[in-house]
A and B are shown apart, each in its own frame.
Chain A
Amino acid sequence: MTMTLTYTILNISDIEKINFSEIIENNFGTLRHSNDGQEFGIKYESEPSFIANGSVLPIKIMDKNQAIELMQTEKWSGNLEK
């Protein structure tokens, strides 16, 4: 079975408004952050209420391919041969 997930980038200032029971990620510790720490990503099957009700405004909403492409940009990736 293949499930289609939605990938979303949010601002770190909205972290307190995230209901982890509505997204795939379990807690703050497992979230992927941008290199500058200002943004983070989540994914979900059904739109979470905190987005649907407008309390959190996503920076970007993507499908999987778009998300993978974004994660390879300088803002999210880097040189791992340190």
Chain B
Amino acid sequence: MFSIVDFIKNIVQSLEFTEAITNLTSSPSESQFDTCRTHHVTKGNYIYIDGVKYKVIDFELNQWISVKGEIPPTATTFVIPAPHFFNGTPMQVQNVLANIREWRDKLPMVYLLEVIREQRFNSRTNKLDRISELRIFFLMSSNFEDWDVAQHYDFAINPMDNFVNDFIETLRLNHSVGDFNEYETINRANFGVYISKPSKRSGKYEDNITKLIDENVSGVELKLDLPVKKNPCFSFNSCIIAPPQPFANTLSTSFDGFDEEVDGGNPFGIQLTGNISFSIFIKTTFNGVGIIVAKRNPATNFGYQFYSSGGKLRLLVNFLGGNKTIIGTTPIDDGQWHHVLCTISQGVQISMILDGSTEGTTSIVGETYVESNSNLKMGGGQVGSTFYFWEGLTNNFSLFDRLVSSSEVRTSSNQAKDISATNPVLWWRCGNGDTFPILTDNSINAHFGQMINMESFDFVNDAP
């Protein structure tokens, strides 16, 4: 059964934005950069850069953002997380917030006010299933003691109005939503005063609503009559519009730790000598020594290898001056899915980011990288005359000829995402869309992988 609440919740939670960083100036105490879209960023919010959280101390709408702390000079993008979502009657939301110790950490929030009035259509010829009358509040922290009217607009109402625009545009592009020509927005300074109800008896929930919600919270109310199309997923009526296809990720590739590997060959397009990033999801209980991804020459040692040892991850990159290594400290042999992003910022540093957090960095200032001129391998590799095969599952391996941020290749809930728009050099889904014994390249290139010593049942129904 189609749920308008779940639908709105999914829309809101999808509104995580990744934007480019330009003209970065950075010091240990404060950093500032230009960006053409600030979305719902405001003072006191947090943004993420390579999985690190930065507090916004100032901004100019759709121009620049300054944050507390030093941003690495290699940073190219930042992430604005989606607001928190709440739904229910004011009393219900009050109860939820009352159980959250620092409820203001849930700002900015989107609050879908219930009860929702819906006009249903039963006619087979009507393309609409219903029109849902929605009242949604986009709320931000504000400061009634110190802010003047202009500051309320700058720091609360305008950022939330920005978010309403993003929300509306996302709705318009959704295949389940019919055409709607108009909607109404109302600026709501001091939201709590608006929703609070005078209570006849002290101690009733209504009093608590006022105490919590009206405490320096402002934003924008959206009134919208949302037309929802008929859909085979939630209607017995004939299907007219296909539902939107989510990014299906159900399969992974299993490696046995004995002699199985995927060989990507050595095509010119993956012989990278500039900045390099690769991203992969892994799941394992293996605590031996095994290569997960490598493009390293077994004779000259040139190149890079990403491997596990003792249930922890390591990244080794060989330079003319010798090896540089990152030795991870977080156990990953727990049978859970983990995401790893490794980057080589030539002349600066190598880094390994595990599940969105930096696992380690090593300086490579003054080092010269030499391309290995050997095949790209996944699941195993050779160093000297010794083979090192890894046991576990891999999912969505991608290779880039630039530095990428963790948020470009994984969701905030550590799931794979469609990276078609990120222009990878190579992208093996490791199951979905693949036909044994080939891992298809889902980038615009054709760098396929050949499954060696493997079987069709090495595509398994498991994915992050």
Residues of A that sit less than 8 Å from B by CB: 1-3, 5, 7, 24-26, 30-33, 35, 37, 41, 43, 64, 67-68, 71-72, 76-78, 80-82
Contacts and interface: CB of A to CB of B under 8 A. Distances in A.
22 contacts: A5-B256, A7-B258, A24-B453, A25-B259, A25-B453, A30-B259, A31-B259, A32-B259, A35-B386, A64-B256, A67-B257, A68-B258, A68-B286, A71-B257, A71-B288, A71-B389, A76-B386, A78-B383, A78-B386, A80-B381, A80-B388, A82-B384
Nearest to B385: A35
B40 to A, nearest CB: 46
B386 A81 contact: no
A77 B258 contact: no
Interface of B: 256-259, 286, 288-289, 291, 301, 305, 307, 314, 316, 323, 325, 381, 383-389, 391, 452-455, 457
Contacts of A82: 301, 323, 383-384
B385 A37 contact: yes
Main secondary structure of the interface of A (DSSP, over half): loop
A80 B386 contact: yes
Contacts of B323: 81-82
A30 B452 contact: yes
B258 A32 contact: yes
Taking each of A5, A43, A81, which has the highest tally of chain B beta carbons within 10 Å of its own beta carbon?
A81
Contacts of A71: 257-258, 288, 389
Given A30-B452, A32-B258, A80-B305, 19 more contacts: A1-B457, A2-B457, A24-B453, A24-B454, A32-B259, A43-B258, A67-B257, A68-B257, A68-B258, A68-B288, A68-B391, A72-B288, A72-B289, A78-B383, A80-B291, A80-B381, A80-B388, A81-B314, A82-B383
5 pairs of A and B residues whose beta carbons are closest in the complex: A32-B259, A72-B288, A78-B386, A80-B383, A68-B257
Contacts of B258: 7, 32, 41, 43, 64, 67-68, 71
Contacts of B286: 68
Contacts of B383: 78, 80, 82
B455 A24 contact: yes
A51 B305 CA distance: 37
B384 A78 contact: yes
A76 B388 CA distance: 9
Nearest to B254: A2
A25 B256 CA distance: 13
